[in-house]
Amino acid sequence: MKEKYCISTLFLGCLLVQFDSSVFAQDSPWGYRCDGDTSKCIKEEATDPLIQTSFAQCKLTCNPYGVLWPKPTSVSLDDQVVPFLPSNVTSAVVAPPNVASLLDEAIAIFIDNLHKNYPKYSQDMTPRAGPYKSAANNHILHLDITVTNSDDRLSLHTDESYSLALATNGDVSTATIHSPTYFGARHALETLSQFTEYDEPLHALLIITSATIEDSPVFPYRGVLLDTARNFVQITDIERTLDAMSANKLNTFHWHITDTHSFPVYLTSRPEMTHYGAYSSREIYYAREIMHIVEYGRIRGIRVLPEYDAPAHVGNGFQWGPKEGLGDIAVCVNKEPWASYCVEPPCGQLNLANPKMYDVLGEIYSEFVNFFGPIDLFHFGGDEVNLNCWNTTEEIVNWMIENDFGLSEDSYYDQWGVFQARALQLLTTANGDQKVPGILWTSHLTEAGRIEKYLPSDDYIIQIWTEETDPIIGELLDKNYRVIFSNYDHWYLDCGFGAWVGEGNNWCSPYKGWQTVYDNNPIEIASRYSTTFDPALILGGEAALWTEQADGEALDSRLWPRCAALGERLWGNPAHNWVLAESRFIHHRQRMVRRGIQADRIQPQWCHQNEGLCYA
């Protein structure tokens, strides 16, 4: 074990004779010491620069959780490291054939992520000259992966757990991964990639020599919402978002793909929708692109969840209706003054009075199921219906009167309820008569007195977007509704910027810092309102980026690293707040940047190098 000892204490004496003074002159005088009491890496001037511990080595081994993000359920890490190169990875897979081929892709991504640990200006991966150059060149990282189950699509019941054991024997480190499913094994590879760091003095990767992990998520639904209708987002930007999500074990990309503003989805059955509704001919998602994103997500352990928001949040794209003899599919489209007919410009709602509207809705669902399927969930949207729009549209008012529905608020809620029931039925038909749970935003329809009437708890999951102080949280749980948290006071990522109508700051200001994102504990919030709820009703949570003021350009800055904070909250739901997570979080942000994600800086780099000294 002499060799291993020497390698793993690389900067504690073994290299003394190897560096000449000219090399030393380029090196940093700073080293790092792991403080056993605080588990922090302390930057200090080495009495002899050659016997210092490097930043990478200290970070990998000092904290009991290393630099793992999100924090696994159970972790044991060695404090020794060995150098290796990303080119020296081998693997053996035991899994059903469909899973084995997915694992091939996951392993390729893993190796790519190892390469990305190097500083971006480094093309040359030859280790620095010295006695450990050959050690690094010769060391093998072997992956031994076993998956038992052939499931290759996520559902709310997928077992995403895994175990990961890493052991080093001579020139070989073996990572043994066991998981019931592909999804757990993929998570294991992500964790394993976080056992590695680029080491500046050696110009090679370091990996912890041994570790044991048992891990599984607390919540089955861990999502990020992206709105691509207020502003269009390119496919490459969505791919990058999925890359970043997979680094945080987030598993649901909620694609709010259409809205009143634009309809960017090319429908084979209704090309008129993009002809009238896309912002331009270059701002359209075609079937092959959506299917590519669905597959891209699946490989990365991510469900791509479609939302077709209705009956409000529709409008542009439907202008062809009257011309083709179908009448108005949508009403109040771009109607002025907008504040009378919707919550933000432009307005638009589906035309309840037009039976042809349901034909078109069925066509849309049908194509969505085709693009995104097989689906295990569907998002119906369903918030912010403006009754005044319907009640000032002559065709609808006449229809309400002719059918003896009345014109009261309740009458309109009744018809909204009828609409939703029809929508569920149409979706089920489009999905080959397979009913899947539908998700709906909290709205006037989910309030007490209405929800029981219109929305069976077996059929619907409710996504809560109001504040953590909204008593509806307790009501929903007490009525046995499954819920997803997206309370805007913590998880709306568009908040805090300038207003986009008028001046001042936008409606949900202030900006939600990562600490605010991290500290939003769904179980703790729910416990304030209900003492009897079944925790299994809380499926998880989701951060939302509504894109009135974002597109692909600032996408990463809005999402990251704040969604990483979400990732740890939803994976492990830690009992502690952000303070104990800060040091790993700061480090994880740097990792994401190396992987090509333009995540925001959280602190000066001095704070990263001087752990714990940037306190309030």
Q: Which of residues 487-506 bind a second copy (CB under 8 A)?
A: 496-505
Q: Note whether 287 and 93 are within 8 A (CB).
A: no
Angle at 464 between CA 582 and CA 377, to 5 degrees: 100
* Stretch 298-317 residues interacting with a second copy (CB under 8 A): 316
CA-to-CA separations, 89 to 136, 202, 305, in angstroms, rounded: 12, 19, 34
Phi and psi torsions of 48, nearest 5°:
-125, 120
Residue 266 engages a second copy in binding (rule: CB under 8 A): no
H helices present in 117-196, as ranges: 131-138, 182-193
Q: Which of 200, 239, 289, 384 is catalytic?
A: 384
Residue 532 engages a second copy in binding (rule: CB under 8 A): no
Nearest approach, Cβ of residue 25 and a second copy (Å): 8
Residue 604 engages a second copy in binding (rule: CB under 8 A): yes
Nearest approach, Cβ of residue 484 and a second copy (Å): 24
Nearest approach, Cβ of residue 187 and a second copy (Å): 26
Residue 1 engages a second copy in binding (rule: CB under 8 A): no
Residue 45 engages a second copy in binding (rule: CB under 8 A): yes
Nearest approach, Cβ of residue 549 and a second copy (Å): 5
Extract the tokens encoding 599.
Answer: 């995540």
Q: Note whether 439 and 463 are within 8 A (CB).
A: yes
Distance CA 505, CA 510 (A): 8
Toward a second copy, which CB reaches closer, 148 or 610? 610
Residue 614 engages a second copy in binding (rule: CB under 8 A): yes
- For residue 96, whether the previous peptide bond is cis, meaning omega lies within 30 degrees of 0, is no
Residue 118 engages a second copy in binding (rule: CB under 8 A): no
Toward a second copy, which CB reaches closer, 286 or 358? 286
Picking from 560, 523, 563, the residue whose alpha carbon sits closest to that of residue 543 is 563
The H or E element containing residue 412 is helix 409-430
Judged by CB under 8 A, which stretch of 160-168, 299-307, 380-388, 543-551 contacts a second copy? 543-551
Residue 119 engages a second copy in binding (rule: CB under 8 A): yes
The site string for a second copy over 557-596 (x = CB under 8 A, - otherwise) reads x--------------------x--------------x---
Residue 322 engages a second copy in binding (rule: CB under 8 A): no
Q: Note whether 107 and 189 are within 8 A (CB).
A: yes
Residue 600 engages a second copy in binding (rule: CB under 8 A): yes
Distance CA 556, CA 236 (A): 12
The H or E element containing residue 61 is helix 55-61
Judged by CB under 8 A, which stretch of 134-142, 286-294, 444-452, 541-549 contacts a second copy? 541-549
Q: 221-227 and 330-331 as β-strands: parallel, antiparallel, unpaired? A: unpaired
Judged by CB under 8 A, which stretch of 92-100, 237-245, 390-398, 508-516 contacts a second copy? 508-516
Nearest approach, Cβ of residue 182 and a second copy (Å): 32
Residue 548 engages a second copy in binding (rule: CB under 8 A): yes
Nearest approach, Cβ of residue 552 and a second copy (Å): 9
Distance CA 84, CA 81 (A): 10
Angle at 51 between CA 45 and CA 56, to 5 degrees: 80
* Stretch 405-444 residues interacting with a second copy (CB under 8 A): none
* Stretch 130-189 residues interacting with a second copy (CB under 8 A): none
Residue 510 engages a second copy in binding (rule: CB under 8 A): yes
The SS3 of residue 193 is: helix
Judged by CB under 8 A, which stretch of 248-256, 358-366, 479-487, 602-610 contacts a second copy? 602-610
- Of the candidate residues 181, 196, 319, 487, the single one contacting a second copy (CB under 8 A): 319
Residue 613 engages a second copy in binding (rule: CB under 8 A): yes
513 Cβ contact list (under 8 Å, min separation 6)? 562
* Stretch 347-406 residues interacting with a second copy (CB under 8 A): none
Distance CA 403, CA 313 (A): 26
If 0-12 CB within 10 Å is exposed, 13-18 middle and 19+ buried, where does residue 281 land?
exposed
CA-to-CA separations, 9 to 40, 52, 173, 192, in angstroms, rounded: 18, 10, 17, 21
Alpha carbons within 13 A on the beta-carbon side of 294: 21
Nearest approach, Cβ of residue 130 and a second copy (Å): 17
* Stretch 222-261 residues interacting with a second copy (CB under 8 A): 230-232, 261
Residue 511 engages a second copy in binding (rule: CB under 8 A): yes
Nearest approach, Cβ of residue 286 and a second copy (Å): 13
Q: Tell me whether residue 344 is one of the annotated catalytic residues.
A: no
Residue 601 engages a second copy in binding (rule: CB under 8 A): yes
Nearest approach, Cβ of residue 561 and a second copy (Å): 10
Binding residues for a second copy, total number by CB under 8 A: 75
Residues forming the active site: 384
